[in-house]
Amino acid sequence: MSGTSEQDVIVVGGGLIGIASALGLRQLGLSVLLLDEGDVAHRAARGNFGLVWLQSKGGGSGDYVRWTRRSIDHWPDFSRELTELTGIDLGYRRPGGYHLCLSDTEFASRSALVDRIAPNQPDDAKTVMLDAAEVRRRIDGVGEGVVGASYNELDGDCNSLALFRALHEGFNRLGGRYKPSVRVDAVERDGGAYRVRTGEDSFGASKVVFAAGLGLNRFAGQVGMPEIVRPQRGQIIVTERLRPFLSMVFSQIRQLPNGTVLIGDTKEDAGFDNGTTSIIMRELAERAVKTLPHLANVNIVRAWGALRVLTHDGLPCYEEAPDWPGVFFATSHSAVTLAPGHAREFARWVAFGEAPPDLLGFSSARFRAAA
């Protein structure tokens, strides 16, 4: 191959997808340079809720359910191997997950969702609806306002900041090169290889993976692909440390090993504003108290807003750019859940061209058709 390839692969974006892919590529023996813009960028990797979650996935896409399920199946091994490599405990657990409904309307709408996704869900891990009596039988201390729940036994959570740290540490230990505070501006052809340009520098590689989260659209435009991503804000509030009381995981409430309780997370169209608002924080707190009344006298110690990286239809987008062989794009919501999939299966696609068949339908062509 002509052109100047200083490494096999450059990964642009050191968020959850970029670093999981970079680690996977290193594990496959490729030389990898990871470039990340740093704290000025919007980084969903640092603001998420930490769920490893299947139950509500895949309204219109069996492929997405299968992809999520495979990732969840990889989680126990993946977590153990990453801990062996780095010494960092990811706090992964799979106690089963509940989405609690606080009105008959919510219960009906959740039941309709569960019915809709049932045909795409694996037979051995269907999401089920539980009535109020069953919820009370399983969970101590739920409020009178809880009218039922959906439940999936494969659902769980992890310490997502530990996951993020371990992915970076593992990449570093395996000899990956990481350059923080480097904003990539452009990708160009360089003979049969590629160069990515920053303000002052340029770096060459045979392949480039764009995993730049909300920064993806600019690169998609450069290689003739349509816009892929848009932001969606989520706000999360955090309580003071409490004695352990919640061993299962709720979609909107989870207790961390240090005793704090995370309460979240909203879905708001707020453009690129990742701030917090007192109205939303009050709504989150009220909902939490309705769910678990003993949270009423607990202090909230901090809150944050973060921007989800969503495609226009909420499904992932994975693609080798049509006229730029070796230039890959990857974006998905739920990249905590999908971290093993990115490190193992997506990395193999980039390294060896072995695309998992169920990812091929997630190209950006679907957005071109919609435009």
> Which one of 114-122, 131-139, 304-312, 353-361 is the stretch in contact with ligand FAD (CB under 6 A)?
304-312
Question: Does residue number 58 form part of the binding site for ligand FAD (CB under 6 A)?
Answer: no
Bridge partners of 152, per DSSP, are 97
**Tokens 């920064």 correspond to what residue?**
215
205 scored as a contact of ligand FAD (CB under 6 A): no
- CB count within 10 Å of CB 160 equals 23
CB-CB contact of 108 with 181 (8 Å): no
Burial class of 293 by CB neighbour count within 10 A (0 to 12, 13 to 18, 19+) = middle
Q: Which two tokens stand for residue 129?
A: 């609806």
Say how many residues touch ligand FAD, by CB under 6 A.
42
263 binds ligand FAD (CB under 6 A): no
Distant-in-sequence, close-in-space partners of 73: CB < 8 Å, separation ≥ 6: none
SS3 345: helix
Nearer to ligand FAD by C-beta: 10 or 114?
10
Nearer to ligand FAD, 192 or 212 (CB): 212
User: Of 42-50, 101-109, 134-142, 346-354, which segment contacts ligand FAD by CB under 6 A?
Assistant: 42-50
> What does the block give as tokens for 328?
């890959």
**Strand, coil or helix: 317:** strand
Q: Is 45 in the site for ligand FAD (CB under 6 A)?
A: yes
47 contacts ligand FAD (rule: CB under 6 A)? yes
Q: Min. distance of Cβ 244 from ligand FAD in angstroms?
A: 20
Residue nearest to ligand FAD (CB): 15
Nearer to ligand FAD, 298 or 336 (CB): 336
- 11 vs 211: CA distance, rounded Å: 7
Residues 22, 30: Cα–Cα separation, whole Å: 9
Q: For residue 9, state whether it binds ligand FAD (rule: CB under 6 A).
A: no
- Mark the segment that binds ligand FAD (CB under 6 A) among 32-40, 103-111, 147-155, 278-286: 32-40
Query: How many degrees, rounded to 5, is the angle at CA 53 between CA 14 and CA 108?
Result: 135
Q: Which one of 148, 204, 213, 326 is in contact with ligand FAD (CB under 6 A)?
A: 213
Q: Which stretches of the chain bind ligand FAD, using CB under 6 A?
A: 12-18, 35-38, 41-45, 47-51, 53, 183-184, 211-213, 215, 234, 236, 265, 306-309, 331-337
